[in-house]
């Protein structure tokens, strides 16, 4: 387990260094502040449709609520997984690698023989394709965001385990490395927002990447995105989101979603006393500024 945290810190350091040394102003002035046909989309956590994640386990199965994509088909997908208090899966593998973020409760995910390491909300982990592991949860309500680059997402017995060369990463929320406007040009100089770069996949023409965004209390501003993919899930806190066409304000709590399929802007506000943490998946750059 110590190995995983050290490896993660090293990866974060290398990625941060590359971001700081580049001369390109990533995300700055690359996204329009107004769009004629905004594609902004919002899903409230109360609108999530829950189904059994692994129907073969019957009532013992966790629940899953799809946010984008389709975990049964060969497309990028993000879904929420819900576990009852005391849940512990049998050892198993998956046919695809997944990434995950704890939203509520505490979750353990590791080798079947490993000691429990309970991850709190805001923690991030990866589970390589083919590696045997268990998942456990404790808490009144336990929810995680699960993300795959390509489905279908299947559960298979450990007899089919294999090593695809990847190694799991577990990052506790206390070990997240945050960058402010002095360390990344994805945040405007007038903003107290922060970013943490989590992963990047350069195998596609438009590089897919995942990151955390932290919005301080009192934040009121815009997140500009210049990719044709943006998926954002509220991990912690409550976000006020203004729809660009109707100006309706949507109140998004943990597990809620906003996104877009074109270059656009997102009007965001934090009217509460706690910080907000968002998880973003995009194939472009973003830029955060405050009013």
User: Domain extents for the chain?
Assistant: 2-44+175-290, 48-171
Provide the CA 150 distance to its chain's centre, in angstroms.
16
Q: How far is Cα 97 from Cα 219, in angstroms, rounded to an integer?
A: 35
Tens place of pLDDT for every residue, the chain, 291 residues?
Answer: 333 333 434 344 334 433 443 333 444 444 455 566 789 999 999 999 999 998 888 888 999 999 999 999 999 999 999 999 999 999 999 999 999 999 999 999 999 999 999 999 999 999 999 999 999 999 999 999 999 999 999 999 999 999 999 999 999 999 999 999 999 999 999 999 999 999 998 876 779 999 999 999 999 999 999 999 999 999 999 999 999 999 999 999 999 999 999 999 999 999 999 999 999 999 999 999 999
Instruction: Please tell me if the domain spanning 2-44+175-290 has the same topology as the one spanning 48-171.
Output: yes
The answer to whether the pTM exceeds 0.85 is yes
Q: Could you give the angle at the alpha carbon of 167 between the alpha carbons of 232 and 10, nearest 5°?
A: 75
pLDDT, residue 198, reads 97
Looking at the domain that runs over 48-171, which CATH code has it been given? 2.60.120.10
CATH of 2-44+175-290, picked from 1.10.3470.10, 2.130.10.10, 2.60.120.10, 3.40.50.11540, is 2.60.120.10
93, 133 contact by CB (below 8 A): yes
| E-strand stretches of 119-219 | 124-127, 134-148, 155-156, 169-171, 194-201, 208-215
């Amino acid at each position: 387990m110590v190995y995983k945290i050290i490896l993660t810190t090293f990866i974060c350091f290398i990625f941060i260094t590359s971001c700081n040394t580049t001369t390109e102003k990533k995300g700055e002035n690359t996204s329009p502040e107004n769009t004629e046909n905004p594609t902004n989309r919002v899903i409230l956590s109360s609108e999530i449709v829950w189904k059994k994640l692994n129907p073969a386990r019957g009532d013992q199965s966790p629940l899953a609520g799809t946010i984008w994509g389709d975990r049964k088909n060969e497309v990028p997908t993000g879904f929420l997984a819900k576990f009852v208090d005391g849940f512990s899966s049998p050892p198993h593998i998956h046919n695809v690698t997944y990434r995950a973020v704890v939203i509520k409760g505490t979750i353990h995910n590791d080798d079947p023989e490993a000691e429990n390491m309970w991850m709190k909300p805001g923690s991030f982990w990866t589970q390589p394709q083919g590696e045997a592991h268990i998942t456990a949860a404790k808490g009144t309500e336990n929810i995680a965001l699960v993300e795959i680059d390509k489905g279908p997402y299947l559960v298979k017995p450990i007899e089919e385990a294999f090593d695809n060369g990847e190694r799991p990463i577990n990052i506790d929320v206390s070990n997240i490395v945050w960058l402010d406007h002095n360390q990344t040009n994805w945040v405007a100089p007038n903003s107290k927002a922060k970013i943490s770069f989590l992963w990047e996949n350069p195998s596609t023409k438009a590089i897919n990447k995942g990151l955390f965004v932290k919005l301080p209390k009192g934040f009121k501003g815009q997140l500009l995105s210049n990719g044709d993919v943006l998926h954002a899930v509220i991990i912690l806190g409550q976000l006020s989101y203004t729809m660009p066409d109707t100006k309706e304000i949507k109140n998004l709590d943990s597990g809620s979603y906003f996104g877009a399929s074109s270059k656009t802007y997102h009007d965001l506000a934090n009217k509460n006393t706690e910080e907000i943490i968002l998880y973003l998946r995009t194939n472009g750059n973003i830029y955060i500024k405050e009013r």
